[in-house]
Amino acid sequence: MIIINHFDTKLSSRYEELDSNQDGNKNTQFADIIVDGKSIYNRLRKYDMVPALGWGTSDNQRQMIDYFLLRQPHEHLYCRYPILVCPLCGDEECGFISVKIDKEGDIVIWRDFILEGENKKIDIGPFYFKWDNYSTAINNTYGLTDDNSN
C-alpha cells in the first residue's frame, strides 16, 4: 500500500532577510515545493539550487509547468525533469537535480532524484500525489514571482 503525499507550493526566496550569505548573491524568488509540509528546497539546500517553478521568463514558466504536468517530455531527459536548477540563471548547463515523473491513473509519482552532471542518486522520495492536488498546485506557480527575467 502506498502512502499519498500532500503537494503544495509557496513563494520563497534563496535567502532570508537577515542572512549574511545574500551579500553579493542573487536572492532568487521561486515557487518552493512543499511535500507533506516540508520544503524540498530546504531538504536539498546543500546543492545550492532552487526549484525550477515560479520564476524566469513567461515561456520558461509555461515550459516547466508543461513538464511537471507531463504535457511534453524534456527534449534531452525524456521522462526525467529538472526540479532544482541554477539560482542565478536557471540554465541546466550550470547543473541541476532531476526527478523521474510518472502518472499511473490519478496518481503522480516522483522518484529517482539525480544530481545531473555527477549522475549521483539523491536519497529522497519516492513521493505519490493525487493528480487534482498536484496539478492545481503546479498550475498556481505561474507568475508567482515578479521576476520574469532569466
Domain boundaries, the chain: 7-139
Exposed/middle/buried for residue 125 (C-beta within 10 Å: 0-12, 13-18, 19+): middle
CA separation, residue 146 to residues 11, 45, 54, 133, 143 (Å): 11, 23, 9, 24, 7
Give the pLDDT confidence of 108-118 residue by residue, as tens digits.
999 999 999 89
> Is the pTM value of this prediction over 0.95?
no
Amino acid (1-letter code) at residue 94:
C
Mean pLDDT across 143-150: 56
Give the pLDDT confidence of 128-137 residue by residue, as tens digits.
999 999 999 9
Exposed/middle/buried for residue 29 (C-beta within 10 Å: 0-12, 13-18, 19+): middle
Residue 149 — pLDDT band, cuts 50, 70, 90?
very low
User: Kind and range of the H or E element at 64?
Assistant: helix 58-68
Mean pLDDT across 72-94: 88
Q: What is the mean pLDDT of the chain?
A: 88
Mean pLDDT across 76-85: 90
Beta bridge partners of 99: 81
Q: Does the pLDDT at position 145 exceed 80?
A: no
Give the pLDDT confidence of 2-49 residue by residue, as tens digits.
899 999 999 988 765 555 555 555 567 899 999 999 999 999 999 999
CA gap 132, 130 in Å, rounded: 6
Report the 3 state secondary structure along 84-144: EECCCCCCHHHCCEEEEEEEECCEEEEEEEEECCCCEEECCCCEEEEHHHHHHHHHCCCCC
Mean pLDDT across 103-111: 98
For helices 131-139 and 58-68, angle between their N-to-C axes, nearest 10 degrees: 170
